[in-house]
Structure 1
Amino acid sequence: MARIAGINVPVKKCVPFALTYIHGIGITTANIICRSCKIDERKRVLELQDEDIEKISSFIRQKYVIEGELRKKVAMDIKSLMEIGCYRGLRHRKGLPVRGQRTHTNAKTRKGRSKLPIAGKK
Protein backbone atom coordinates (compact mmCIF):
# COMPACT_ATOMS: atom_id res chain seq x y z
CA MET A 1 0.00 0.00 0.00
CA ALA A 2 1.25 3.44 -0.93
CA ARG A 3 0.41 6.47 1.19
CA ILE A 4 -0.98 9.47 -0.63
CA ALA A 5 -2.14 12.41 1.50
CA GLY A 6 -1.98 10.22 4.59
CA ILE A 7 -4.25 7.50 3.16
CA ASN A 8 -3.23 4.01 2.11
CA VAL A 9 -4.16 3.46 -1.52
CA PRO A 10 -3.93 0.13 -3.38
CA VAL A 11 -0.75 -0.22 -5.44
CA LYS A 12 -2.08 -2.53 -8.15
CA LYS A 13 -4.75 -0.12 -9.39
CA CYS A 14 -4.37 2.67 -11.92
CA VAL A 15 -3.65 6.03 -10.32
CA PRO A 16 -7.09 7.68 -10.82
CA PHE A 17 -8.94 4.67 -9.41
CA ALA A 18 -6.54 4.42 -6.49
CA LEU A 19 -7.09 8.10 -5.67
CA THR A 20 -10.83 7.49 -5.31
CA TYR A 21 -10.05 5.57 -2.11
CA ILE A 22 -9.49 8.99 -0.52
CA HIS A 23 -12.74 10.38 0.91
CA GLY A 24 -13.66 13.49 -1.05
CA ILE A 25 -11.99 12.52 -4.33
CA GLY A 26 -14.10 10.97 -7.07
CA ILE A 27 -13.03 9.73 -10.48
CA THR A 28 -13.41 13.13 -12.17
CA THR A 29 -11.33 14.87 -9.52
CA ALA A 30 -8.76 12.08 -9.68
CA ASN A 31 -8.41 12.56 -13.44
CA ILE A 32 -7.97 16.31 -12.94
CA ILE A 33 -5.26 15.65 -10.34
CA CYS A 34 -3.42 13.30 -12.70
CA ARG A 35 -3.53 15.81 -15.55
CA SER A 36 -2.40 18.67 -13.30
CA CYS A 37 0.53 16.67 -11.94
CA LYS A 38 1.40 15.42 -15.45
CA ILE A 39 1.07 11.76 -14.53
CA ASP A 40 -0.09 9.18 -17.05
CA GLU A 41 -3.56 8.00 -16.04
CA ARG A 42 -2.82 4.46 -17.21
CA LYS A 43 0.10 4.06 -14.81
CA ARG A 44 -0.33 1.92 -11.74
CA VAL A 45 0.50 3.29 -8.30
CA LEU A 46 3.26 0.69 -8.05
CA GLU A 47 5.02 2.28 -11.05
CA LEU A 48 5.04 5.80 -9.57
CA GLN A 49 8.27 7.34 -8.33
CA ASP A 50 8.48 8.86 -4.85
CA GLU A 51 8.54 12.38 -6.28
CA ASP A 52 5.33 11.66 -8.23
CA ILE A 53 3.58 10.52 -5.06
CA GLU A 54 4.83 13.60 -3.22
CA LYS A 55 3.65 15.82 -6.09
CA ILE A 56 0.16 14.29 -5.93
CA SER A 57 0.02 14.57 -2.13
CA SER A 58 1.03 18.21 -2.08
CA PHE A 59 -1.41 19.07 -4.89
CA ILE A 60 -4.28 17.40 -3.02
CA ARG A 61 -3.38 19.15 0.25
CA GLN A 62 -3.29 22.55 -1.49
CA LYS A 63 -6.45 22.29 -3.58
CA TYR A 64 -8.94 19.95 -1.89
CA VAL A 65 -10.64 19.35 1.44
CA ILE A 66 -10.43 15.62 2.12
CA GLU A 67 -11.00 12.94 4.76
CA GLY A 68 -11.50 14.18 8.33
CA GLU A 69 -11.75 17.86 7.46
CA LEU A 70 -14.42 17.13 4.86
CA ARG A 71 -16.42 14.91 7.22
CA LYS A 72 -16.22 17.61 9.89
CA LYS A 73 -17.32 20.30 7.43
CA VAL A 74 -20.32 18.27 6.26
CA ALA A 75 -21.34 17.52 9.85
CA MET A 76 -21.08 21.20 10.77
CA ASP A 77 -23.14 22.20 7.72
CA ILE A 78 -25.90 19.77 8.70
CA LYS A 79 -25.76 20.96 12.30
CA SER A 80 -26.11 24.60 11.21
CA LEU A 81 -29.11 23.69 9.04
CA MET A 82 -30.76 22.10 12.06
CA GLU A 83 -29.96 25.08 14.30
CA ILE A 84 -31.47 27.69 12.00
CA GLY A 85 -34.59 25.58 11.64
CA CYS A 86 -34.85 25.54 7.87
CA TYR A 87 -36.81 22.83 6.06
CA ARG A 88 -33.74 20.72 5.32
CA GLY A 89 -32.62 21.02 8.93
CA LEU A 90 -36.02 19.87 10.19
CA ARG A 91 -35.93 16.86 7.87
CA HIS A 92 -32.47 15.96 9.17
CA ARG A 93 -33.68 16.35 12.75
CA LYS A 94 -36.70 14.09 12.15
CA GLY A 95 -34.64 11.52 10.26
CA LEU A 96 -36.67 11.81 7.07
CA PRO A 97 -35.48 12.14 3.46
CA VAL A 98 -34.12 15.61 2.84
CA ARG A 99 -34.21 16.02 -0.92
CA GLY A 100 -37.91 15.75 -1.66
CA GLN A 101 -38.26 12.00 -1.98
CA ARG A 102 -41.55 10.23 -1.44
CA THR A 103 -42.23 9.03 2.12
CA HIS A 104 -45.68 7.45 1.94
CA THR A 105 -44.04 4.33 0.61
CA ASN A 106 -40.29 3.77 0.42
CA ALA A 107 -37.86 5.81 2.57
CA LYS A 108 -37.34 2.80 4.85
CA THR A 109 -33.62 3.53 5.08
CA ARG A 110 -34.12 7.00 6.56
CA LYS A 111 -37.26 6.26 8.57
CA GLY A 112 -36.10 2.97 10.05
CA ARG A 113 -38.26 0.02 10.95
CA SER A 114 -41.88 0.62 11.89
CA LYS A 115 -42.46 1.13 15.60
CA LEU A 116 -45.59 -1.00 15.99
CA PRO A 117 -46.04 -4.26 14.16
CA ILE A 118 -49.31 -4.46 12.26
CA ALA A 119 -51.51 -7.37 13.28
CA GLY A 120 -52.15 -9.96 10.61
CA LYS A 121 -55.59 -10.42 9.10
CA LYS A 122 -57.77 -13.35 10.10
Structure 2
Amino acid sequence: MSEEGEKTERVEEEEFKHIVRILDTDLDGNKRVAYSLCGIKGVGRRVARAMVLYSGVDMGAKMGKLSNSDIEKLKVALGSVEKRLPFWMLNRRRDMITGEDKHIMGSDMALKFQDDINLLRKIRSYRGIRHERGLKVRGQRTKSTGRRGLVVGVVRKKLIAKLEKTGVK
Protein backbone atom coordinates (compact mmCIF):
# COMPACT_ATOMS: atom_id res chain seq x y z
CA MET A 1 0.00 0.00 0.00
CA SER A 2 2.92 2.34 0.59
CA GLU A 3 4.07 1.76 -3.01
CA GLU A 4 0.72 3.04 -4.31
CA GLY A 5 0.99 6.11 -2.10
CA GLU A 6 4.46 6.84 -3.43
CA LYS A 7 3.24 6.44 -7.02
CA THR A 8 0.36 8.88 -6.53
CA GLU A 9 2.69 11.41 -4.90
CA ARG A 10 5.07 11.16 -7.85
CA VAL A 11 2.20 11.60 -10.30
CA GLU A 12 0.99 14.67 -8.41
CA GLU A 13 4.48 16.13 -8.40
CA GLU A 14 4.76 15.54 -12.15
CA GLU A 15 1.37 17.18 -12.80
CA PHE A 16 2.25 20.29 -10.82
CA LYS A 17 3.70 23.02 -13.03
CA HIS A 18 5.94 25.49 -11.23
CA ILE A 19 5.82 27.88 -14.18
CA VAL A 20 2.74 28.38 -16.35
CA ARG A 21 3.08 30.38 -19.56
CA ILE A 22 0.18 32.64 -20.56
CA LEU A 23 0.40 35.61 -22.96
CA ASP A 24 4.19 35.25 -23.31
CA THR A 25 4.57 35.65 -19.54
CA ASP A 26 5.87 33.12 -17.02
CA LEU A 27 3.45 32.88 -14.10
CA ASP A 28 4.19 31.40 -10.68
CA GLY A 29 2.49 28.03 -10.25
CA ASN A 30 2.62 28.23 -6.44
CA LYS A 31 0.22 31.19 -6.27
CA ARG A 32 -3.55 31.08 -6.53
CA VAL A 33 -4.97 31.63 -10.00
CA ALA A 34 -6.16 35.23 -9.64
CA TYR A 35 -2.95 36.41 -7.96
CA SER A 36 -0.78 34.59 -10.43
CA LEU A 37 -2.57 36.28 -13.36
CA CYS A 38 -1.57 39.64 -11.86
CA GLY A 39 1.95 38.85 -13.07
CA ILE A 40 0.86 39.73 -16.61
CA LYS A 41 1.35 43.41 -17.42
CA GLY A 42 -2.03 45.06 -17.81
CA VAL A 43 -3.86 42.54 -15.62
CA GLY A 44 -4.57 43.75 -12.11
CA ARG A 45 -6.42 42.04 -9.29
CA ARG A 46 -9.81 43.20 -10.47
CA VAL A 47 -9.39 42.12 -14.11
CA ALA A 48 -7.80 38.83 -13.02
CA ARG A 49 -10.71 38.04 -10.71
CA ALA A 50 -13.24 38.88 -13.42
CA MET A 51 -11.49 36.66 -15.96
CA VAL A 52 -11.24 33.74 -13.53
CA LEU A 53 -14.96 34.01 -12.77
CA TYR A 54 -15.79 34.26 -16.48
CA SER A 55 -13.67 31.23 -17.40
CA GLY A 56 -15.20 29.09 -14.65
CA VAL A 57 -11.86 28.05 -13.17
CA ASP A 58 -11.66 27.43 -9.41
CA MET A 59 -10.50 30.70 -7.83
CA GLY A 60 -8.84 29.00 -4.84
CA ALA A 61 -6.79 26.54 -6.88
CA LYS A 62 -3.07 26.97 -7.37
CA MET A 63 -2.02 27.93 -10.88
CA GLY A 64 0.33 24.95 -11.14
CA LYS A 65 -2.42 22.42 -10.37
CA LEU A 66 -4.69 23.55 -13.22
CA SER A 67 -5.25 21.18 -16.10
CA ASN A 68 -4.32 22.16 -19.64
CA SER A 69 -8.01 22.68 -20.49
CA ASP A 70 -8.40 25.15 -17.59
CA ILE A 71 -5.31 27.05 -18.75
CA GLU A 72 -6.78 27.21 -22.26
CA LYS A 73 -10.04 28.58 -20.77
CA LEU A 74 -8.03 31.32 -19.06
CA LYS A 75 -6.22 32.13 -22.31
CA VAL A 76 -9.53 32.43 -24.16
CA ALA A 77 -10.96 34.61 -21.39
CA LEU A 78 -7.93 36.91 -21.45
CA GLY A 79 -8.20 37.11 -25.23
CA SER A 80 -11.74 38.47 -25.01
CA VAL A 81 -11.30 40.98 -22.18
CA GLU A 82 -12.71 43.89 -24.21
CA LYS A 83 -15.97 42.02 -24.83
CA ARG A 84 -16.41 40.77 -21.27
CA LEU A 85 -15.57 43.82 -19.15
CA PRO A 86 -17.38 47.15 -18.94
CA PHE A 87 -15.61 50.01 -20.71
CA TRP A 88 -14.60 51.67 -17.44
CA MET A 89 -12.47 48.65 -16.48
CA LEU A 90 -10.38 48.78 -19.66
CA ASN A 91 -6.91 50.29 -19.49
CA ARG A 92 -6.88 52.11 -22.84
CA ARG A 93 -10.11 54.02 -23.25
CA ARG A 94 -10.59 56.39 -26.20
CA ASP A 95 -7.34 55.48 -27.94
CA MET A 96 -5.56 58.60 -29.29
CA ILE A 97 -5.44 57.29 -32.84
CA THR A 98 -8.52 55.08 -33.30
CA GLY A 99 -10.78 56.36 -30.52
CA GLU A 100 -11.70 52.81 -29.50
CA ASP A 101 -11.88 51.33 -26.02
CA LYS A 102 -9.22 48.61 -25.68
CA HIS A 103 -7.47 46.56 -23.04
CA ILE A 104 -3.77 46.04 -23.67
CA MET A 105 -1.78 43.30 -21.96
CA GLY A 106 1.74 41.93 -22.04
CA SER A 107 4.55 43.38 -24.11
CA ASP A 108 2.11 45.44 -26.20
CA MET A 109 1.60 47.68 -23.19
CA ALA A 110 5.19 48.98 -23.08
CA LEU A 111 5.23 49.49 -26.85
CA LYS A 112 1.97 51.47 -26.85
CA PHE A 113 3.16 53.57 -23.91
CA GLN A 114 6.36 54.49 -25.74
CA ASP A 115 4.41 55.21 -28.95
CA ASP A 116 2.12 57.57 -27.02
CA ILE A 117 5.07 59.50 -25.59
CA ASN A 118 6.69 59.73 -29.03
CA LEU A 119 3.41 61.04 -30.49
CA LEU A 120 3.20 63.70 -27.76
CA ARG A 121 6.78 64.75 -28.55
CA LYS A 122 6.08 64.84 -32.27
CA ILE A 123 3.02 67.09 -31.98
CA ARG A 124 4.96 69.31 -29.55
CA SER A 125 2.33 69.20 -26.81
CA TYR A 126 3.14 70.45 -23.32
CA ARG A 127 3.35 66.90 -22.01
CA GLY A 128 5.62 65.88 -24.88
CA ILE A 129 8.01 68.76 -24.24
CA ARG A 130 8.14 67.90 -20.52
CA HIS A 131 8.94 64.28 -21.41
CA GLU A 132 11.71 65.44 -23.77
CA ARG A 133 13.33 67.57 -21.12
CA GLY A 134 13.02 64.91 -18.43
CA LEU A 135 10.85 67.11 -16.20
CA LYS A 136 7.73 66.34 -14.21
CA VAL A 137 4.71 65.95 -16.47
CA ARG A 138 1.66 66.05 -14.24
CA GLY A 139 1.97 69.42 -12.56
CA GLN A 140 4.17 68.47 -9.63
CA ARG A 141 6.48 71.09 -8.21
CA THR A 142 10.08 70.97 -9.37
CA LYS A 143 11.93 73.39 -7.10
CA SER A 144 13.18 70.83 -4.61
CA THR A 145 12.05 67.38 -5.77
CA GLY A 146 12.79 65.34 -8.84
CA ARG A 147 16.42 66.39 -8.95
CA ARG A 148 18.63 64.00 -10.82
CA GLY A 149 21.59 64.17 -13.10
CA LEU A 150 25.21 65.18 -12.74
CA VAL A 151 24.84 68.68 -11.30
CA VAL A 152 26.64 68.63 -7.98
CA GLY A 153 26.55 72.32 -7.02
CA VAL A 154 28.54 73.54 -4.01
CA VAL A 155 30.76 70.47 -3.77
CA ARG A 156 31.80 70.96 -7.39
CA LYS A 157 32.65 74.63 -6.82
CA LYS A 158 34.88 73.71 -3.87
CA LEU A 159 36.65 71.13 -6.00
CA ILE A 160 37.27 73.65 -8.80
CA ALA A 161 38.61 76.22 -6.29
CA LYS A 162 40.95 73.62 -4.82
CA LEU A 163 42.23 72.65 -8.27
CA GLU A 164 42.85 76.31 -9.18
CA LYS A 165 44.95 76.76 -6.03
CA THR A 166 47.13 73.82 -6.96
CA GLY A 167 47.47 75.11 -10.54
CA VAL A 168 45.88 72.10 -12.28
CA LYS A 169 43.45 72.88 -15.10
CA contact (8 A) 1:5 1:61 kept: no
- State the partner residue of 1:113: 149
1:27 is aligned to 2:49: no
- State the partner residue of 2:143: 104
Q: Counterparts of 2:109 and 2:77 in 1: how far apart (Å)? A: 16
Q: Counterparts of 1:98 and 1:32 in 2: how far apart (Å)? A: 33
Greater relative contact order: 1 or 2 (C-alpha under 8 angstroms, separation 6 or more)? Answer: 1
Per-residue CA shift, 1:6-25, capped at 9, x if unaligned? 21100000111111111111
1:85 is aligned to 2:118: no
Q: Which amino acid aligns with 1:69?
A: D
Shift of residue 58 of structure 1?
2.1
CA RMSD of aligned residues (A): 1.8
Per-residue CA shift, 1:24-45, capped at 9, x if unaligned? 1111111111111122322110
Task: Structure 2 unaligned segments of length 5 or more: list them.
Answer: 1-18, 82-102, 159-169
Task: Structure 1 unaligned segments of length 5 or more: list them.
Answer: none
Per-residue CA shift, 1:60-113, capped at 9, x if unaligned? 1333421221111111111101111111111111101111111111113xxx23
- State the partner residue of 1:36: 54
The structure with more radius of gyration: 2
Q: Which runs of 4+ in 1 moved over 4 A?
A: none
- State the partner residue of 1:46: 64
- State the partner residue of 2:16: none
Shift of residue 115 of structure 1?
1.6
Q: Give the 3-state SS of the residue equivalent to 2:26 in structure 1.
A: strand
Q: Which amino acid aligns with 2:75?
A: S
* Residues matched between the structures, number: 118
CA contact (8 A) 1:5 1:58 kept: no
Q: Percent same amino acid among aligned pairs?
A: 29
